[in-house]
């Protein structure tokens, strides 16, 4: 896939922000790879692939090399020069690199092993960072990073083969039922979650259904089908309408708030293919 002509201006707008954080590839001089969202190295890698830029493009290879340079031999990724390394950092890096074509790389295989080793007892992934205190909800995993981890694992041969991933799917399906804020970072299912967000960024109904549609454990489950129905109730003439958007992306044609998104609708059609 190549970038359609009607989205070339979007690519140019993203490229125009390339040095905003002080260094090349939307990063800082000290290589903080998540700094500057939505125009960070992490986010711009996603945006450009979503617009159709090929992973073989030299620009995306440059982003991939930045993230691979942050890989540690134990499988983790250190996305900033200072501070702790949290599981969500490793999950985000792995997910981006999978979208950039590196799922079979030996370093990523080590990362997937690491993620399975640290999987929480409830099936998800969590960080030992308690920004909201230590209530009973913080004993659970963080649903958002768990969903992102499953997004990365769908690129591997563990998809629909590894029971640990089914456990993660069940954790997320249970969250659809409880809807309570969970994990140290308090991921809940409420008004904001139910707004269709595109491009995928935060934990929301669209990316929730999209990722789970790859997993056989979810496809026929009544909770997944309920979530799918909630998403489909928001369609207009079978097309995705963007309800929620980072306001800094408001000028991009492929994801205008309140309008049909052709590329978002393409992701919805992928859901339909996944569930047969």
Pick from 118, 148, 170: which residue ends a domain? 118
What pLDDT sits at residue 1?
63
Query: Helix 222-232 crosses helix 163-178 at what angle (to 10 degrees)?
Result: 60
Based on the number of CB atoms within 10 Å of its own CB, is 273 exposed (0-12), middle (13-18) or buried (19 or more)?
exposed
Q: pTM (2 decimals)?
A: 0.96
What pLDDT sits at residue 272?
98
52 and 151: one domain?
no
For residue 187, the tally of other CB atoms under 10 A from its CB is 23
Pick from 59, 83, 118: which residue ends a domain? 118
For residue 81, give the DSSP letter.
Answer: S
In a domain, 127, yes or no: no
- Cβ distance 79 to 93 under 8 Å? yes
- Cβ distance 66 to 41 under 8 Å? yes
- What is the total count of domains within the chain? 2
- Cβ distance 108 to 98 under 8 Å? yes
Pair of tokens at residue 200: 């995928």
68 and 103: one domain?
yes
25 and 99: one domain?
yes
276 and 157: one domain?
yes
What pLDDT sits at residue 139?
86
225 and 151: one domain?
yes
Pair of tokens at residue 21: 């954080």
The residue segments making up the domain with residue 113 are 1-118
156 and 109: one domain?
no
99 and 199: one domain?
no
Question: Average pLDDT for consecutive 10-residue bins of the chain (276 residues)?
Answer: 91 97 96 95 97 97 98 97 92 98 98 98 86 71 97 98 98 97 92 97 97 98 98 98 96 97 98 97
17 and 65: one domain?
yes
184 and 265: one domain?
yes
- Cβ distance 7 to 199 under 8 Å? no
């Amino acid at each position: 896939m190549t970038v359609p002509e009607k989205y070339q201006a979007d690519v140019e707008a993203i490229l125009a922000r390339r040095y905003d954080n002080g260094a090349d590839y939307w990063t800082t001089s000290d290589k903080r790879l998540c700094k500057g969202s939505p125009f960070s190295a992490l986010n711009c890698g996603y945006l450009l692939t979503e617009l159709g830029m090929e992973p073989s493009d030299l620009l995306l290879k440059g982003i991939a090399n930045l993230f691979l340079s942050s890989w540690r031999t134990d499988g983790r990724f250190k996305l900033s020069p200072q501070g702790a390394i949290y599981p969500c950092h490793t999950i985000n890096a792995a997910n981006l690199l999978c979208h950039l074509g590196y799922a079979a790389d030996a370093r990523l295989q080590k990362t997937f092993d690491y993620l399975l080793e640290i999987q929480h007892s409830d099936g998800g992934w969590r960080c030992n960072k308690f920004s909201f205190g230590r209530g009973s909800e913080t004993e659970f995993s963080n649903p958002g990073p768990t969903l992102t981890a499953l997004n990365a694992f769908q690129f591997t041969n563990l998809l629909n083969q590894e029971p640990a991933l089914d456990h993660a799917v069940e954790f997320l399906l249970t969250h659809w039922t409880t809807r309570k804020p969970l994990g140290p970072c308090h991921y809940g299912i409420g008004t904001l979650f139910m707004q269709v967000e595109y491009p995928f960024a935060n934990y929301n109904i669209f990316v929730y259904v999209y990722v789970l549609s790859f997993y056989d454990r979810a496809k026929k489950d009544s909770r997944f089908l309920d979530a799918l129905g909630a998403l489909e109730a928001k369609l207009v003439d079978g097309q995705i309408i963007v309800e929620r958007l980072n306001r800094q992306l408001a000028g991009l044609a492929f994801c205008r708030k309140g309008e049909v998104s052709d590329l978002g609708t393409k992701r919805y059609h992928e859901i339909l293919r996944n569930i047969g």
